[in-house]
Amino acid sequence: MQPVGHREWERPFPVRYLIVGEDEDGGELLLGRCAAVEGLFTDPAPPPREVLVLRGCAPGAAAGWLGPALITGRSASGREYWWDLLDAELLAVVPHTADPTLVDVVVGAAVGAVEDFRFARDPGERFELTATWSGPEPLAVGAEVTGLLVERAGPGRLPVQLVGCELTGPLRAQLDSGYRGWPAYAELWALDDTGRVLCRVPTGLAIDRTWPSVLGGGLLDVLLSVSSDQLPGSAARAVWQQWRAGPPRQAGSWRGSGTAAKEAWQTLALYICGPGPDRSGGEYHLDGREVEDVTGLHCAIGEAVNGPGGYYGREWNGLRDCLGGGFGLVPPFTLVWHDFAVTEEELAADRDPATGLGYPEGVARELERRGVTVVRA
């Protein structure tokens, strides 16, 4: 569905959002449009932190901050389970009580949802701890993890109010029938000043109530109940405002922002990364100064190869996907990494405990492995 044809209406304020759902055939269907949204940038309550222990691991892991990480459990039948670890830290490595040649690895983190109802029927017998920056090789492998099978509440729901809505016939028919929402997938499409889609937020359409809009003109205000983990969060507000007039024209607009704001910046960069033919060859220049964190490094890589507002992966696995094609540039090409030593020093804390490599050096080696010539200037 092309949003440009739906942004004009005879009112003294612009259409800023489209409500888009799926029809019976899975296609995109316009359900409404509105002038504003309140509550879109609300932050969910942070999940509680927990202490997990991988038991019976081979020596080699070292204490230190991991950042985003993952525990993968594998059962005897081949089933795999995943637990996302948020802001993880490897707290300690201690001798394993049953076998002094092995160790127990203690990790502190906030943990994602657990499929314990399946796990009880098909328990894991091998658990791997990996970090986003360390690539596919596990930092530790154990036969058991304590602390994982604790029942956790899912993400809460938050109120989001659509202000000044004009609903289309299909949604009005659903409401008239008594159904408070839309039975299929639904999103909120935010538009920039040109009518291009700035971001798609998978809010769903669980409607608590509707009433005549404060904007008048026969419009409605609609109160939704939205899963908190679907909202962009408060850090995204300033980034969206920055991109309202269109993608950045100058490189480095993300510099000086917090990590969450850079993540929001990357989300918007991904949305403007339209399909097109891949190119290869050429020389590209990466400015390694003022890269305050890992997310900023990936922002800099995206701009180096695809220009201001460019996207080329938001983390390690995203970078590897981009190198495989579909994101504007594929190897072979040359990347001149200016002030590489400055980047290494700035990200000195982001180091692979297994190899001792800093995150920038790990990225450079992965690029070289995939056919990119990296010049560390």
For the stretch 28-61, pLDDT in tens is 999 999 999 999 999 988 888 999 999 999 999 8
The residue-averaged pLDDT of 152-156 equals 76
Rounded CA-CA distance 111/73 in Å is: 14
As annotated, the residues of the chain forming the CATH 2.30.110 domain(s) are 3-43+157-230
The better pLDDT of the pair 231, 354 is held by 231
pLDDT for position 117 = 61
CATH 3.30.370.10 describes domain 249-376: yes
Strands (E) located in 133-259: 140-142, 144-146, 157-167, 186-191, 197-201, 207-212, 220-227
Residue 342, classified by CB atoms within 10 Å of its CB into exposed (0-12), middle (13-18) or buried (19+), is: middle
* pTM summary value: 0.75
- Identify the CATH number of the domain defined by range 3-43+157-230: 2.30.110
As annotated, the residues of the chain forming the CATH 3.30.370.10 domain(s) are 249-376
Is the predicted pLDDT of residue 114 greater than 70, yes or no?
no
From 190, 195, 186, select the one nearest 28 (Cα to Cα).
186
pLDDT for position 361 = 96
Residue 220 — pLDDT band, cuts 50, 70, 90?
very high
